[in-house]
Structure 1
Amino acid sequence: MGTVDAVDEARSTRPFDRVLVANRGEIAVRVIRTLRRLGIRSIAVFSDADAEAPHVRLADESVRIGPAPAAESYLDPARIIAAARETGAEAIHPGYGFLSEHAGFAEACRDAGIVFVGPGVDALEVMGDKIRAKRHVEASGVPTVPGIADPSLDDAALAAAGEAVGFPLLVKPSAGGGGKGMQIARDARELAAALPAARRVAIAAFGDDTLLLERLIERPRHIEVQVLADDFGNVVHLGERECSLQRRHQKVIEEAPSPLLDTETRARIGQAACDAARSVDYRGAGTVEFLVSDAAPDEFFFIEMNTRLQVEHPVTELVTGVDLVEQQLRVAAGQPLAMKQSDIALTGHAIEARVYAESPERGFLPSIGELLVWRAPSGDGVRVDGGIRSGQRITADYDPMLAKVIAYGADRSEALARLDAALADTVVLGVETNLGFLRRLLADPAVQRGDLDTGLIDRMPEPESHAAPPEVLAAAAAFRTAAAIDDARAAGAHAWQAARGWRLGRPMAADADAADPLAAPAVPDAISTDADGAVWLHTPNGIWRVPAADRRGSLDARLAMIERGGLADPELRAPMPGTVTAVLVADGDAVEPGDAVVAIEAMKMEHRVTASVAGIVRLAVAVGEQVSRDQSVARVEPQLAASAVVPTSVPASSDAPHEGAHSTPSHQE
């Protein structure tokens, strides 16, 4: 009888019986974990690229929704609704990105009799348009950044209005978020170039090229406030998150609470966030974003409201003890908030780092390939939100974020130390990542002091590529020797007949170019070989990739030529697989070194391929064309009459950084 009563009680408090998660990767895994804890049956959806993904394996049920491209799977409302109907789901949790802020999708859920775990359609429409949102919250007394928000203005009128506001200006697409399409203009000439560039990205990313202009606040702090609201008029905030560590408007490291705000300012900014939420009759979990002047921390200005769960929500959960996904589900089921503002307290400090498949040494270009080894860190105060597995293929179809590593401590100093140790213990072999960059960022004196602003990362020196030390080369060589001997034994041959370069008593030379063939090998705690024969190692000093001997020699020779300034490749090559989104010159145009020639979108980022020499450009691709890594997209025919500037920068090739990555559509922020 007691068991029956317990089951009945669980059913009475459980928000739903069956929920479909309309997302992938780490956020899908994170939502499913809360569903399982609450006793709710979870339903995953997947594209062909994600058939064996962790979120699919973790869910109670799963439904295929289409091929790998997001437009034909995760971004297709009809396929998601059909999957929910097919499985009898009562509600759909959209995660973040994809359809999470899509008013049309929320309306389609309502029409299908399925609960959308998110705010109402009106709130999505108002807050999804930055111009409309700004006007709306201004009417509620929420302070906003000075600027121009008039969708009727064309480029010429915007330029004139912008000059009246005063430079520097930030050009922003009205639709969308995550920094996609943002441009900075410090004078009239830059504004004239920024407007069409921002419109091009906005129309491609959001289908809407409406722009707004805002006064650029120098050395700003990006601080956002988490809010919860129910159907009964209750609105609370759960403190703020500091999100100032950004690279090209994309958040990299976030923390809660902010080291800048005092108790009085925290209360005022929290109240402003609640006022913004009330102004649209908000329901569920949302985030109100503000700019705070580093010089005047008691002043803050509304930027926008994100009408969904945020990537960085774990830091708020750790300092408040509130499961935000559970609260979303309960509010969506019509339950009132079980907490008042006075019940919420911030305890300790939490910091999150986003781990991306990207190469900081190559201009942060995304990295693809087989994930040979994935091992999450553990320890006191460490939380990892991931949705990857060893053996998984990281493709160019989706955002390059692999996981989030979060650390909690009694204070900020302890949280920083725990996060650094956790990142050192994070093992990702097979694709390049930003792990080393994250650790360098955390060690920056300004970050340690909490002296943050959104331009800090851009002011840091460009990451440099470092050659593997002798002990790492020796470890790679020893691993290759052991593997060759094992292969020989498996084939029935004697080791000395099949393996090259080995000898009794010591490891063989660490490839042909080892600095010290007698160096004692390092002791990696994870090691593997990729399809190209390169050895990947995780050691106490970081993660290393040691190419096969024949490829390493040619690479070192190429790098030596670059350092001497004697290499200027006239072939312009795609840095990775992607789609040509813009051709920025005409065939036969004269170009100078550094001129942008072609824009390529890959892994939701737009990369500009630039000329490495002066001359006449000959195009090899057109807009919309699919290109592979290292494919020639153009060639520059050097001319004696062209500029006499001798290029000393790295050429635009697969081994060289290209002009900065510009955000385009992403299922992340």
Structure 2
Amino acid sequence: MENTNGTPRMFDTVLVANRGEIAVRVIRTLRAMGVRSVAVFSDADADARHVREADEAVRIGPAPATESYLSVERLLEAAARTGAQAVHPGYGFLAENAGFARACEEAGLVFVGPSADAIALMGDKIRAKETVRAAGVPVVPGSSGSGLTDEQLADAAREIGTPVLLKPSAGGGGKGMRLVRDEAVLADEIAAARREARASFGDDTLLVERWIDRPRHIEIQVLADGHGNVVHLGERECSLQRRHQKVIEEAPSVLLDEATRAAMGEAAVQAARSCGYRGAGTVEFIVPGSDPSQYYFMEMNTRLQVEHPVTELVTGLDLVEWQLRVAAGEPLGFAQEDVRLTGHAIEARLCAEDPARGFLPSGGTVLRLREPEGDGVRTDSGLSEGTEVGSLYDPMLSKVIAYGPDRETALRRLRAALAGTVTLGVQTNAGFLRRLLAHPAVVAGELDTGLVEREVDGLVATDVPEEVYEAAAAVRLEALRPRGDGWTDPFSVPSGWRTGGEPKPVAFPLRAPGLEPVTRTPRGTHTVTDDRVCVTLDGVRHTFHRAADWLGRDGDAWQVRDHDPVAASLDRAAHAGADSLTAPMPGTVTVVKVAVGDAVSAGQSLLVVEAMKMEHVVSAPHAGTVAELDVAPGTTVAMDQVLAVITPADDATDAKEETA
């Protein structure tokens, strides 16, 4: 946009084509700049925080993303209705969709990001590698050419030599990536990678790359304007990953010295220049931890990154503001020599997932919310109390970021911030992240992309501490106490008194998801309020946040429900000798491979449940027969909902013989 004298003019109204924490974060900068913000929402997000914080909000469709947030037509209609001059895509959804960028341009809207051509080029990992290689940027050895068949991919993998990494040519975020160490499973892994890539990006084109053992993931933030200026803003260390998804990011990296930082930064600038880049983008490198001078280009993300806050904190720059200024036609107001990295920042991604259940996606209603703040702490969040976390969208809920004059201070502040995070009603990974940040290797900065997977068992709390059951029993005991002044019916007092015998303390049958039931009688002293429980057990005082049947402490949370032994006994009797297969997470059944009466073998894949972009295969626990099948493709299921019942082979044979 231009003023009458030909100088760039900032937009009056910007539509934010996203949801959740990134939409809230973009709206925050728009408000600070005096720019009117327009939010969009699906039916699932009608009362979401980003909707409430925007100046205006437009409904764009029902809950499924394909009918709302991924609908180019509806997004453009919303922009036209509200008079928006520009569209900020956030990240995810259509942020790296060249078709969307082109459609915005054709509709007379400014896409706050690079050109459609740059998105298309860098979104194709095969073409991207060829382009940056020609610009002198080192790349990871791997397959060449696009459209390779399964057999050609397998041949390339064998030629490179295992271990190799299968990667979708389109998209990112670890979706569809498969690490293959055994040639015997190549065919199965290629098929699985194609299926997930097609589901995530609508494109199942794959490439194969050499796997570098114990690598570090270092990325460089770049910023380019439309006047030929390109700078880098230093690096981010993103080596702490699980299933190829980043969980902790920090800036700067303890691995790099000034010379290596400058060399990698210059390589990133050349990569950006090679595609005529404009806006904020990230060039990702894989770096052998033993020799950081040997770095290889992996890909370029043509959008704002989830982890951009750590760069903002160490540079003092607002990247969203500069995205908007560049999109409006302004030149960068600084040169490379003006960029200074001061202090240290670390970010943790808070996700709706259950570490004790293998990090499966979780869901529910946020009943109690406390987000950290204070000196050196920043929280980017899309949450509020009452938020319904479903299975349709990405599991990331918020980001907790800590800044300090040095890495030790930033680590300490982030651990404390996570300990103070309360998100009751939805299981999250906050406690896991806090323990990860205290791991000796993390504290020492000795990171690699496999560290989390190697150490995960020691970082996940699977058992419920005794004091949690004590607190849950105390809540129930307190609920039985009579309320009000005046006369009290002695029979209503939970004293355990009974006729003809010694008092018998009140006991409560309790059960945490996935664990065997327990019976607890409160034996310590306790204080219960609407939002807290304090129990003193064996001389130690424990304080928990509470909401309904949830208890939380130091970032961990437990849902402890009342257990009905009679109902459980009837259920066991109804399915005696059989195994009920239940949903491991709230989600949607996408594949059903069997029917009632089918014989199945142990370990056979029966169903696929998908939630938050993750597939989970439900397999037969033993050989037998499908006795019940309660779902079909498209069925929405809750966590622990019965999907099917499998009668063991011996029982199935006996039943058939009795029938005969």
Fold match by TM threshold 0.5: yes
Task: Flag the 1:540–1:148 CA change in 2: closer, same or farther, 3 A.
Answer: closer
The reply on whether 1:253 has 2:248 as its aligned counterpart is: yes
Query: Among 83, 106, 109, which residue is 1:114 paired with?
Result: 109
Distance in 1 separating the partners of 2:352 and 2:277: 35
Per-residue Cα deviation, 1:126-181 (whole angstroms, up to 9, x for no partner): 01111111111111111111111322321112212221121111111111111111
Question: Displacement of 1:454 after TM fit?
Answer: 0.8
Residue 657 of structure 1 is matched in structure 2 by none
Distance in 2 separating the partners of 1:231 and 1:138: 23
Residue 605 of structure 1 is matched in structure 2 by 614
Query: Among 505, 518, 522, which residue is 2:523 paired with?
Result: 518
Task: Flag the 1:553–1:467 CA change in 2: closer, same or farther, 3 A.
Answer: farther
Query: Among 22, 25, 45, which residue is 1:50 paired with?
Result: 45
Query: For the Cα contact (< 8 Å) 1:14–1:39, is it kept in 2?
Result: no
Query: For the Cα contact (< 8 Å) 1:574–1:633, is it kept in 2?
Result: yes
The reply on whether 1:210 has 2:234 as its aligned counterpart is: no
Mind listing any 5+ residue stretches in structure 2 that lack a counterpart?
A: 498-504, 510-517, 527-532, 535-541, 653-660
Distance in 1 separating the partners of 2:565 and 2:63: 32
The reply on whether 1:318 has 2:332 as its aligned counterpart is: no
Query: For the Cα contact (< 8 Å) 1:359–1:366, is it kept in 2?
Result: yes
Query: Among 393, 400, 412, which residue is 1:405 paired with?
Result: 400
The reply on whether 1:169 has 2:164 as its aligned counterpart is: yes
Query: Among 322, 333, 337, which residue is 1:327 paired with?
Result: 322
Question: Displacement of 1:125 after TM fit?
Answer: 0.5
Read off the aligned partner of 1:511 and give its amino acid letter: F
Q: More displaced, 387-396 or 511-520?
A: 511-520
The reply on whether 1:433 has 2:428 as its aligned counterpart is: yes
Task: Flag the 1:222–1:101 CA change in 2: closer, same or farther, 3 A.
Answer: same
Question: Displacement of 1:347 after TM fit?
Answer: 0.7
Distance in 2 separating the partners of 1:33 and 1:318: 16
Question: Displacement of 1:464 after TM fit?
Answer: 3.9
Read off the aligned partner of 1:382 and give its amino acid letter: V
Question: Displacement of 1:24 after TM fit?
Answer: 0.8
Read off the aligned partner of 1:300 and give its amino acid letter: Y
Distance in 2 separating the partners of 1:317 and 1:334: 21
Question: Displacement of 1:257 after TM fit?
Answer: 0.7
Query: Among 464, 474, 486, which residue is 1:467 paired with?
Result: 464
Distance in 2 separating the partners of 1:44 and 1:585: 43
Question: Displacement of 1:197 after TM fit?
Answer: 1.1
Task: Flag the 1:636–1:17 CA change in 2: closer, same or farther, 3 A.
Answer: same
Read off the aligned partner of 1:378 and give its amino acid letter: E
Task: Flag the 1:484–1:93 CA change in 2: closer, same or farther, 3 A.
Answer: farther
Task: Flag the 1:619–1:158 CA change in 2: closer, same or farther, 3 A.
Answer: farther
Task: Flag the 1:264–1:29 CA change in 2: closer, same or farther, 3 A.
Answer: same
After superposition, residues 600-639 of structure 1 pair within 5 angstroms as 600-615=609-624, 620=629, 624-629=633-638, 630-639=640-649
After superposition, residues 460-609 of structure 1 pair within 5 angstroms as 460-462=455-457, 463-470=460-467, 472-485=468-481, 489=484, 500=494, 511-512=508-509, 517-521=522-526, 523=534, 527-530=545-548, 534=549, 536-539=550-553, 542-550=556-564, 570-583=579-592, 588=598, 590-593=600-603, 595-609=604-618
Residue 301 of structure 1 is matched in structure 2 by 296
Query: For the Cα contact (< 8 Å) 1:14–1:40, is it kept in 2?
Result: no
Residue 280 of structure 2 is matched in structure 1 by 285
The DSSP-based 3-state class of the residue aligned with 2:508 is coil
After superposition, residues 350-369 of structure 1 pair within 5 angstroms as 350-369=345-364
The DSSP-based 3-state class of the residue aligned with 2:24 is helix
Per-residue Cα deviation, 1:410-433 (whole angstroms, up to 9, x for no partner): 111111110000000111111111
Question: Displacement of 1:501 after TM fit?
Answer: 5.5
Distance in 2 separating the partners of 1:346 and 1:186: 39
Question: Displacement of 1:500 after TM fit?
Answer: 4.5
Question: Displacement of 1:206 after TM fit?
Answer: 1.5
Query: For the Cα contact (< 8 Å) 1:225–1:239, is it kept in 2?
Result: yes
Question: Displacement of 1:638 after TM fit?
Answer: 2.4
Residue 344 of structure 1 is matched in structure 2 by 339
Residue 140 of structure 2 is matched in structure 1 by 145
Question: Displacement of 1:493 after TM fit?
Answer: 9.8
Distance in 2 separating the partners of 1:42 and 1:551: 54
Read off the aligned partner of 1:479 and give its amino acid letter: V
Count of aligned residue pairs for this structure pair = 613
The alignment-based identity, stated in percent, is: 58
After superposition, residues 436-451 of structure 1 pair within 5 angstroms as 436-451=431-446
Distance in 2 separating the partners of 1:389 and 1:435: 17
Question: Displacement of 1:392 after TM fit?
Answer: 1.6
Question: Displacement of 1:539 after TM fit?
Answer: 3.6
Distance in 2 separating the partners of 1:213 and 1:225: 23
Residue 228 of structure 1 is matched in structure 2 by 223
Distance in 1 separating the partners of 2:239 and 2:641: 37
Residue 379 of structure 2 is matched in structure 1 by 384
Task: Flag the 1:37–1:552 CA change in 2: closer, same or farther, 3 A.
Answer: farther
Per-residue Cα deviation, 1:1-32 (whole angstroms, up to 9, x for no partner): xxxxxxx9xxx886211111111111011001
Query: Among 92, 98, 107, which residue is 1:103 paired with?
Result: 98
Query: For the Cα contact (< 8 Å) 1:574–1:627, is it kept in 2?
Result: no
Query: For the Cα contact (< 8 Å) 1:32–1:58, is it kept in 2?
Result: yes
Read off the aligned partner of 1:469 and give its amino acid letter: E
Distance in 1 separating the partners of 2:408 and 2:577: 46
The DSSP-based 3-state class of the residue aligned with 2:525 is coil
Q: More displaced, 196-205 or 477-486?
A: 477-486
Distance in 2 separating the partners of 1:552 and 1:436: 34
Distance in 1 separating the partners of 2:566 and 2:555: 21
Distance in 1 separating the partners of 2:600 and 2:203: 33
The DSSP-based 3-state class of the residue aligned with 1:436 is helix
Task: Flag the 1:549–1:624 CA change in 2: closer, same or farther, 3 A.
Answer: closer
After superposition, residues 15-26 of structure 1 pair within 5 angstroms as 15-26=10-21
Query: For the Cα contact (< 8 Å) 1:481–1:502, is it kept in 2?
Result: no
Greater RCO, 1 or 2 (C-alpha within 8 Å, sep 6+): 1
Question: Displacement of 1:554 after TM fit?
Answer: 6.1
Question: Displacement of 1:186 after TM fit?
Answer: 1.6
Query: For the Cα contact (< 8 Å) 2:44–2:63, is it kept in 1?
Result: yes
Query: For the Cα contact (< 8 Å) 2:430–2:555, is it kept in 1?
Result: no
The DSSP-based 3-state class of the residue aligned with 1:460 is helix
Read off the aligned partner of 2:623 and give its amino acid letter: A
Query: For the Cα contact (< 8 Å) 1:474–1:509, is it kept in 2?
Result: no
Per-residue Cα deviation, 1:108-137 (whole angstroms, up to 9, x for no partner): 111111111000011010011111111111
Distance in 2 separating the partners of 1:299 and 1:271: 14
Distance in 2 separating the partners of 1:583 and 1:543: 33
Per-residue Cα deviation, 1:300-319 (whole angstroms, up to 9, x for no partner): 11111100000000000001
Query: For the Cα contact (< 8 Å) 2:9–2:328, is it kept in 1?
Result: no
Q: More displaced, 476-485 or 98-107?
A: 476-485
Residue 657 of structure 2 is matched in structure 1 by none
Distance in 2 separating the partners of 1:401 and 1:58: 19
Question: Displacement of 1:613 after TM fit?
Answer: 2.0
Distance in 1 separating the partners of 2:345 and 2:566: 41
Distance in 1 separating the partners of 2:375 and 2:33: 25
Q: More displaced, 203-212 or 284-293?
A: 203-212
Mind listing any 5+ residue stretches in structure 1 that lack a counterpart?
A: 1-7, 559-566, 643-669
Task: Flag the 1:482–1:102 CA change in 2: closer, same or farther, 3 A.
Answer: same
